[in-house]
Structure 1
């Protein structure tokens, strides 16, 4: 077994360094495949983060509406007025390269447990397929896709599955 790095520096998050692990199931894909996923993820930039902003912002907006955020959350964290303004309220956390146990071929996913100012209990889970494409955001639930989380193939391609359908986002 290869000795993988235990931390990664992430240009996506302005160079933040976070703990990192490769699950045994992911490692079984082989050194070349794992290395490619790590390289894809560490190749994402702040521009990629800005392009992904709407998915995270809509998670905030959906949560805000569900809990009556204007009554208390606005005073605690302020009010991000646009998708790009959500990032100061996100703190990147531990990363894990894992597999989709339900999909054929068990593709690799980079999963981050981030903290966010609006949802302290469930935080923010961000998932990138192959380390390259953001495929899921929302509260941490341990699932690498919304289709898996809700056992609903109609959610394939949904990045953020909102309580308010107007805030649901999809991959481009």
Structure 2
């Protein structure tokens, strides 16, 4: 099957469609895309639009999310910082992405369970929380709406990027 922006995708053992690694300009790395629920979705063009918007993002999307990611870092510092000799020292939001790596992960594209928006979910490694890492979620592929430990959920219960 062909998906606009991704090319050929194949079905994996979990019934997701998976692409070959695609360059993601905003992240500076090529990652495979997993599309969950695409085959049965009544509006697959919403997936196409979210993918197109995500692949068109520039660094301002991550800059806008940096304060939320920094809040997550500070919270983990409050929880674990004194216990760990190697806990990173990050001065502010502008430096937080230096301790994050998206390489080796995937981009998940799926519609919210309520039938609403299509979300892009990213998993990353981060130096301040090696067990749960970092999840970054973008609504319609265009705007970061959630950051925090990877939990697989697409939304928070509030309007803040990082919710404790």
Common fold: TM-score over 0.5: yes
Equivalent residue in structure 2 for 1:11, among 13, 25, 35:
25
Alignment equivalent of 1:160, drawn from 139, 159, 162: 162
Give, in whole Å, the separation in 2 of the partners of 1:25 and 1:35: 10
User: How many angstroms apart in 2 are the aligned matches of 1:112 and 1:26?
Assistant: 21
2: CA distance, partners of 1:119 / 1:33: 33
**2:55 alignment partner in structure 1:** 42
Q: TM-score, normalised by structure 2?
A: 0.81
Q: 1:117 aligns with which of 113, 127, 152?
A: 127
Gap regions ≥5 residues in structure 2: 7-18
| CA contact 2:109–2:118 (8 Å) conserved in 1 | yes
Match of 1:128 in 2: 138
Relative to the length of structure 1, the TM-score reads 0.77
Total equivalences in the alignment: 148
Taking a change above 3 Å as real, the CA distance of residues 27 and 50 of structure 1, as seen in their structure-2 partners, is farther
Q: Distance in 2 between matches of 1:50 and 1:21?
A: 25
CA distance in 2, matches of 1:88, 1:79: 11
Segments of 5+ residues of structure 1 without an aligned counterpart are: 148-154, 163-172
Change beyond 3 A, Cα 1:123–1:158: same
Q: Which has the higher helix share?
A: 1
SS at the partner of 1:81?
Answer: coil
Deviation at 1:25, TM superposition (A): 4.3
- Asked whether 1:139 is paired with 2:149, we answer yes
> Contact 2:109–2:120 at 8 Å: present in 1 too?
yes
Give CA-to-partner distance per residue, 1:7-34, whole Å, 9 cap, x none: 2322222x21112111124762444322
Structure 2: distance between partners of 1:51 and 1:76: 27
Question: How far apart are 1:61 and its partner, in Å?
Answer: 0.5
